Structure 1
Amino acid sequence: MIIATAGTTNTGSIDPLNEIADLCEKHNIWLHVDGAYGASILVSSKYKPLLNGISRSDSISWDAHKWLMQTYCCSVILVKEKQHLRNCFSTHPEYLKDAETGEEQINYWDMGPELTRPARSLKLWMTLQALGTNAVGEAIEHGVQLAEWAEDEIKNYNHWEIVSPAQLAIVNFRYAPTGLSNQELDSLNKRISQEMVKNGYASVLTTQLNGKTVLRICAIHPDTTEDEMRNTIQLLSNIGRSIE
């Protein structure tokens, strides 16, 4: 099995899905795509082509409680051939003999580890019925735009560097004034994050990329405005200068 990624949590990066699918088909390898975060871009007509090749996978994991704005937990596993799930999970204990059905009906206990399942899908169904897929797609596209606005604003300030560019609503960056060691820069950016969270205007946390501590914005709130995003960057810059 090969596991490809459709939008990493840290940077929103996408693996070359078609090239990986070619390799899997050539060598008869199962292709699973981790789309827990990024697969939601498929709801956007504008950005759907970013995941060209995902339809060639054998299975996909997808968390609606991430970018489809559902409360935790609401996740799905999609498989190309449902018989694979039956082969893994189907059991026939004596207490279910009377509940067994034919091929025309689905018993979901045959397709997963749970015998009794909560109605996790109901909230997603209700959201799609109330808003429609077009509105949900527009909310996702807005998240992509928010990260691009953030990157654009970062470039207006001295001593800031883009560590990974805006993609799938995520951008990573850090304050890097000259004359400081890497360890000092890591500590400085941690302090900037702590002060930002303490301020309460926005929650901008850190992550690690290539051994560096960086600031990470994941902009998926559909009500966030361009001004609010640019103000967030301005406030981060002010905090950085004040504690340098």
Structure 2
Amino acid sequence: MDVSALEKKIMDDQAAGMKPFAVIATAGTTNTGSIDPLNEIADLCEKHNIWLHVDGAYGASILASSKYKSLMSGISRSDSITWDAHKWLMQTYSCSVVLAKDKQQLKNCFSTRPEYLKDAETDEEHINYWDLGPELTRPARSLKLWVTLQALGTNAVGEVIEHGVQLAEWAEDEIKKHNHWEIVCPAQLAIVNFRYAPPGLSDQELDSLNKRISQEMVTNGYATVLTTQLNGKTVLRICAIHPDTTEDEIRNTVQLLSNIARSLNEKKVFF
């Protein structure tokens, strides 16, 4: 996020008689693992009295790592955070968390007192979760995360996170060893974006080629490497978060991608 552009937009809206009330920053995008400048955005929100929400659905799990949690500097200054444990904390879908600095804010938004719940009301020492979110009845989603943390411990969970970061770095290192590959977005938060870009092909042809590489890789079955769009280009994306994946497996994945890419380009079968 461009903080200068953000402040200009806030001031333009205020000058037009509008009242900006919330800024949503990102702590680790699902596409690239990018992190917004959280401290600078927090400064701006405090200056203009604006609610700061941080979307940490994927990337906030890096906070479990003692080695990398400093990447999230400033996230504690947010008013609320979303965090999906099913993305990087080895949980089955769904296991999402909303953290709010002031619990009363959630109650102000979601608490209801219908007559059929009067007898179920409790005092402040006990929590009725229907007061804190839009669902009245819900499954015990938090139980599976609690069991994981109790069984493994936070140190082991942190090691899993750090292993994912290392896997992406190994993938980037291997990609750089092969001809005609380019890193579109470097390894960060277990994600690396790249594409095969041999000379002599148009942008449209390169997009078609990389899409076909992904299709052939999925058909092969060794690994699932899908495409995404960055700056108008079709690129390949590795998101390496499986705790059992090895360095050899991640390097073999890149080598297989390179073999597929070279074969497709030589045969010109991707058009």
- TM-score in terms of structure 2 length: 0.89
User: Which residue identity does 1:92 align to in structure 2?
Assistant: R
User: Residue 149 of structure 1: which of 170, 188, 192 is its match?
Assistant: 170
User: Which residue identity does 2:218 align to in structure 1?
Assistant: V
Report the equivalent of 1:78. Answer: 99
Measured against aligned partners, the alpha-carbon deviations of 1:147-196 in whole angstroms (never above 9, x if no partner) come to: 00000000101100000000000000000000000000000000100000
User: Which residue identity does 1:216 align to in structure 2?
Assistant: R
Distance of 1:122 and 1:103 partners within structure 2: 22
Q: Give 1:31 shift.
A: 0.2
Distance of 2:122 and 2:86 partners within structure 1: 32
Asked if 1:221 is matched to 2:242, the reply is yes
Q: Tell me, what secondary structure is at the counterpart of 2:263?
A: helix
Q: Tell me, what secondary structure is at the counterpart of 2:173?
A: helix
Report the equivalent of 1:22. Answer: 43
Report the equivalent of 1:209. Answer: 230
User: Which residue identity does 1:5 align to in structure 2?
Assistant: T
Asked if 1:92 is matched to 2:87, the reply is no
Asked if 1:69 is matched to 2:94, the reply is no
Asked if 1:234 is matched to 2:255, the reply is yes
- State how many pairs are aligned: 244
Asked if 1:45 is matched to 2:90, the reply is no
- TM-score in terms of structure 1 length: 0.99
Any residues of structure 2 matched to 1:173-212 within 5 Å, and which?
173-212=194-233
Q: Flag as ranges the 4+ runs of structure 1 deviating above 4 A.
A: none
Distance of 1:119 and 1:105 partners within structure 2: 16
Distance of 1:89 and 1:213 partners within structure 2: 41
Q: Tell me, what secondary structure is at the counterpart of 1:77?
A: strand
Asked if 1:111 is matched to 2:132, the reply is yes
Report the equivalent of 1:57. Answer: 78
The unaligned stretches of length 5 or more in structure 1 are: none
Asked if 1:4 is matched to 2:25, the reply is yes
Distance of 1:218 and 1:66 partners within structure 2: 11
Q: Tell me, what secondary structure is at the counterpart of 1:138?
A: helix
Q: Tell me, what secondary structure is at the counterpart of 1:14?
A: coil
Q: Tell me, what secondary structure is at the counterpart of 1:141?
A: helix
Distance of 2:126 and 2:172 partners within structure 1: 50
User: Which residue identity does 1:90 align to in structure 2?
Assistant: S
Distance of 2:140 and 2:121 partners within structure 1: 21
Distance of 2:244 and 2:119 partners within structure 1: 50
**Kindly, what percent of the aligned residue pairs are identical?**
87
Distance of 1:107 and 1:191 partners within structure 2: 51
Report the equivalent of 1:127. Answer: 148
Distance of 1:156 and 1:193 partners within structure 2: 19
Q: Tell me, what secondary structure is at the counterpart of 1:142?
A: helix
